[in-house]
Structure 1
């Protein structure tokens, strides 16, 4: 007979077993990518439950995505520890807020805002601030950062010192808009997702009975992805704990990629200072990726050097975990330089077709990019090659009509007893909705419908295997209950089709084959990275991308944006020393010379050397007496473009760019986004909104109309 230890601890490596058997007191787990951290902590919880150390309903495990929480619940159920609560921070807080609101606050909990954009736009209109879609997105993100960092509108200006002002607005205006946004929510009796955390913190902090009730309910806490905790989430966790130390945290500072939302690894890195003597277990055995992929990931982090001129505390960063590959050897990562974006997308589509012809499933292939705007070229290239794809972040799986119909049919079938296995019943039921063993030759809606139904069948197969051998057979009713729970938490199964996703949205996922595309300066690192912290985060983002790959890893970049355009781009600095010389331009792979900072001094005209008196002269770098160094026709095209943009946005022309900034653009004639970002007057927000249009005018002489 299988013992309890063999059932739960069998198959764990030494470090994972140490995590699983350390059931009391504070525990810090530093877990590298692919090292089985979810396995370690779920087995820890299950071991605690089965040994009687934990009561299932007194354990709260929190993570950052609904998918991760759903995966944790599924694993715990498979380990017969299904009574444990596994939720996101927001879901756990919302559940508590809904329960305690009537007795602590009274009345009905306000409606929750799904998206801030509409309310931010209304707040801007009240202040007569001109906005467009991009600026609204930037302002919503800034408000979110302020709230998770626990800053009020009144305290925003002091907290935002040193931050780039969003949407080209000064911090005073952003502070006013922040307050206007809060007023709009109050007027409409609504709250946002950050308010859910803030209000829960307020109720727990100010109502002793509520705080005592929650702490009586939950005695043991596990926090996954602890490097992504914001100050507000840490405050909530502290109130849940109430001074106790029954806490296990798991994280990896090398995977901190959400600093712009307020996430900070400081809590993970300072855990042993807060809990002196707390054990620290390092998980470094990588079971996901081949040695070739792991080696490249390790080299990327080891190659990090401070930017020229950076010293002291700013030059330091946490020592990364060095991963040890456990898988069999695989192919070397491929590095490819392409002439332009279109050629790069075509090359990627051809390589994907070759992988699929070689037996790699489409669902096990991903194309990852730095910004969502890069996806269009790859959508078009895949479609041209007859390759199905899914955009991560599109329509939610459980909101698709065919999926809703399928669940209704399966629920009806579950009421009729049958001796057939769940996967077979699922196939029989879904056949009436269009499922077949072979994919249809047609594309479009027919193919998408089949892929949705196929994902449900695959999930039935997966769960049947995972729950085989139990005393109670896996039933169709249990499968339907699983689908209902996954629908409530948006824990979607895998859909057949190549995944197109941003690097940020790929966190927590993995594929057999990963294409990292657009790896040129200005995109990786992104052009608005300004300081050492920004560059380090961009390096970590690329590291996350690399470690998503199990076997095949392809990295590519292009020299020009458009076919026939000037080859002014260069590969990402992060690839220096990693890519073979044959992958890039011959003889040009040497490390970049360090940039020297100019000594501080009064600005002078680059033409005659006289001191520059006005802001406009300093922006241009020349005095008014010296002739301009730009093509008048280019300047006029920029002005015509600016007029059209300002009229569409219903704002004064100078709000888009001042004449001095347009002149500086024309004189500098930047060839890419990185160079354009250095032109005075071009901030991060304006670069994102207008950068492509400006570069088209400057580099291609495009007619702005």
Structure 2
């Protein structure tokens, strides 16, 4: 089976599939066959190294990318051997449905979309007698979203002391109202998962022990809270593989930190870096 998995790959892709040991940073631009290398690596782990599928977690950025990866893996492995493949946010929903009671929510929490968020913010502004011409709900939503992308709770914002105290207080009230309604917004999915892992050591250890292999695609697009989530999911025995393009970032508008990929090998000593430089689209 190893031969079958490797025959369609070039040499750097084969190296990525066969790598063992330290963290792996796969630098790959569009059209370089990175998804093929990633899916073949997962198939190799399951078929050749005997890693149970449930011990592998693969994280992507979009539902479309997750569906494509699942489809490719199903072709390689069959439907009954698929590992965990999901976006960051979908992964956090699955974790929180099982664990969020540790944070004082119930597992049947509601997830607010943008319109739900704006409706609640309008209510808060009205209650505080703040006219929308003075502070637009969407501007407040942007402030809150940016804070969450940086991994900052209202309390953390207050400690830093760099943001407007009035905005921070509205952020605090917004979070309070969400919790009263057993609701989370999109940013909370990541922020609360990070909070959960940071505050409840037993939960963090359980999830670290569950996954022996963590693979993250489009790593250049991770923001601070996503990078922190990766760190918290990575235990002493976790094999980490991240794939990204160090020359592009389509998610900067969501607070992506290109420094995450540029400084990855500083955070993970002994990282092996492999470049996929052959372009299959040109």
**Normalised by the size of structure 2, how large is the TM-score?**
0.88
Of 232, 246, 250, the match for 2:225: 232
Separation of aligned partners in 2, 1:258 and 1:135: 24
> Which residue, 253, 256, 269 being the options, matches 1:276?
269
Aligned equivalent of 1:210? 203
1:51 aligned onto 2:53: no
Q: Residue 212 of structure 2 contacts residue 238 of structure 2 at CA under 8 Å; is this kept in 1?
A: no
- Summarize the alignment of residues 617-628 of structure 1 with structure 2, pairs less than 5 Å apart: none
Conserved 8 A contact 1:151-1:159? no
Greater relative contact order (Cα < 8 A, sep 6+):
2
Deviations 1:597-640 (A, max 9, x none): xxxxxxxxxxxxxxxxxxxxxxxxxxxxxxxxxxxxxxxxxxxx
Q: Does 1:130 align with 2:131?
A: yes
In structure 2, the CA distance between the partners of 1:137 and 1:23, relative to structure 1 (3 Å rule), is farther
Query: Which residue pairs with 1:141 in the alignment?
Result: 142
Give the SS at the match of 2:247. helix
Partner Cα separation in structure 1 for residue 226 and residue 27 of structure 2: 19
Q: Does structure 2 conserve the Cα–Cα contact (< 8 Å) formed by 1:30 and 1:250? A: yes
User: Alpha-carbon deviations, 1:127-169, whole Å to 9, x = none?
Assistant: 222327x9433332221110121223344377685xxxxxxxx
Could you tell me how far apart the structure 2 residues matched to 1:201 and 1:154 are?
Answer: 15
- Are the equivalent residues in 2 in contact too, given 1:122–1:184 (CA < 8 A)? no
Distance 2:249 2:267 in 1: 20
Once the two structures are TM-superposed, the CA of residue 104 in structure 1 deviates from its matched residue by: 7.4
Which residues in structure 2 correspond to 1:413-452 (within 5 Å)? none
Partner residue, 1:60: 57
SS in 2 for 1:277: coil
- The counterpart of 1:185, out of the listed 158, 178, 186, is 178
- Could you list the runs of 5+ residues in structure 2 that have no partner in the other structure? none
Q: 1:106 to 1:232 in 2, by over 3 A?
A: closer
CA gap of 1:53–1:144, structure 2 versus 1, over 3 A, is same
Contact 2:57 2:84 in 1 (8 A): yes
Distance between the aligned counterparts of 1:160 and 1:78, measured in 2? 52
Count residues in correspondence.
277
* 8 Å CA contact retained: 2:56, 2:213: yes
How far apart in 2 are the matches of 1:129 and 1:260?
A: 27
Give the C-alpha shift of residue 5 in structure 1: 2.8
Aligned residue for 1:280, secondary structure, equals: strand
Match of 2:19 among 15, 19, 22: 22
Task: Label 1:286 to 1:232 Cα distance change in 2 as closer, same or farther (>3 A).
Answer: same
Whole-Å separation in 1 of the counterparts to 2:240 and 2:218: 14
Q: CA 1:121–1:104 in structure 2 vs 1: closer, same or farther (change >3 Å)?
A: closer
CA–CA distance in structure 2, aligned partners of residues 139 and 66 of structure 1: 27
Given that 1:104 and 1:207 are in contact with CA atoms closer than 8 Å, whether structure 2 keeps it comes out as: no
Q: Which of the numbers 7, 12, 17 marks the counterpart of 2:9?
A: 12
Give the superposition deviation at 1:223: 0.6
Q: Do 1:25 and 1:245's aligned partners in 2 also have CA atoms closer than 8 Å?
A: no
Distance in 2, matches of 1:191 and 1:242, equals: 27
Greater Rg, structure 1 or structure 2? 1
Distance in 1, matches of 2:61 and 2:236, equals 23
The equivalent of 1:34 in structure 2 is 31
Greater alpha carbon shift after TM alignment, 171-180 vs 279-288? 171-180
Q: Which runs of 5+ in 1 are unaligned?
A: 162-169, 291-705
Deviation at 1:251, TM superposition (A): 0.8
Tell me what 2:68 maps to.
Answer: 71
Q: In 2 relative to 1, CA 156–45 (structure 1 residues): closer, same or farther, beyond 3 Å?
A: same
Is the contact between residue 23 and residue 53 of structure 1 (CA under 8 Å) also seen in structure 2?
no
Q: Is 1:201 matched with 2:202?
A: no
Q: Which whole-Å CA distance do the structure 1 matches of 2:251 and 2:189 have between them?
A: 20
**C-alpha deviation, 1:85, in angstroms:** 0.8
Give 1:309-324 correspondences, 5 Å limit: none
The answer for the alignment partner of 2:244 in structure 1 is 251
Change (3 A) 1:16 1:158: same
Render the CA deviation track for 1:311-332: whole Å, top value 9, x for unaligned: xxxxxxxxxxxxxxxxxxxxxx
